Structure 1
């Protein structure tokens, strides 16, 4: 199992939680972004810097992830493609996205895009909080534990 982080929009607490977790369970993490930022030196963490541009990081993650991998992202279309390939997806607030709930998420995302493009102010997501960090950490721990029990290392 390999973990892929869609890092450009990832909140710092998510990154830090993920860095500590992969060190603990000794699973490989690839941090995919189109701009450089500091990552810890670790045999389990690698950076994949992609070209700047719309969906470059997403496209790279989809091209490289495989069945049984884990993808960490808030991007709904990326989530859908990763799920289709058999990857497990967690968003930055620790919510697991699956075949059972991704269609509704895509529909809502598309609806909100249509509203925004017609000039409706839909607001943005709520600010990322300490509670969100805890929920992400708890979900990540549950999913990693389950994967390790299945022998996905």
Structure 2
């Protein structure tokens, strides 16, 4: 199991890194060259840089991720692809994407895009709060525990 982070604008990178370090799970941060940083690499964390194209990080994550991996993204399209591949997909606001909620999320995104295209103004996302941060960390820890249990069950079968 690995954790892939759509890292360009993710406010939870450090939470993912810290939690993964405690649980021994490798992390792959996927981000564009526009966010390149020559800083020190953290043990257990790989940074993969991609072109600055709109979907470059999404395509790279989908190429690398395998069933049972965890993906952290705020992109509904990537979430949909990750679910179809058998990944667990989490939003930084502390909820999991599921087959039950992804269609509504995609429909809402489409409706908002059409409204903007026709000249209407739509609200942007709400600010990321300390409560969101806590919800995400709890969800990530629970998800890791559940995935480890699933791996153990599959190993024993």
- Offset at residue 52 of structure 1 (A): 1.2
Larger Rg: 2
Q: Is the 8 A contact 1:72 1:91 kept in 2?
A: yes
Q: Match of 1:130?
A: 130
Residue-pair matches, total = 151
Show structure 1 runs of 5+ residues with no match.
none
Deviations along 1:49-97, one digit per CA (max 9) or x if unpaired, are 0011111101111121111011000000000011111111000111100
In 2, Cα distance between the equivalents of 1:101 and 1:39?
38
Show structure 2 runs of 5+ residues with no match.
none
Q: CA RMSD in A?
A: 1.6
Task: Single out whichever of 39-48 and 131-140 deviates more from structure 2.
Answer: 39-48
Deviations along 1:116-151, one digit per CA (max 9) or x if unpaired, are 111111110111011110010010011011112223
Q: Match of 2:26?
A: 28
Q: Match of 2:45?
A: 45
In 2, Cα distance between the equivalents of 1:149 and 1:63?
25
In 2, Cα distance between the equivalents of 1:141 and 1:90?
11
In 2, Cα distance between the equivalents of 1:136 and 1:84?
22
- Offset at residue 103 of structure 1 (A): 0.9
In 1, Cα distance between the equivalents of 2:123 and 2:108?
14
TM-score by length of 2: 0.91
In 1, Cα distance between the equivalents of 2:104 and 2:29?
28
- Offset at residue 40 of structure 1 (A): 6.0
Q: Cα–Cα, structure 1 residues 38 and 27, in superposed 2: closer, same or farther, change >3 Å?
A: farther
In 2, Cα distance between the equivalents of 1:72 and 1:25?
17
Q: Match of 2:120?
A: 120
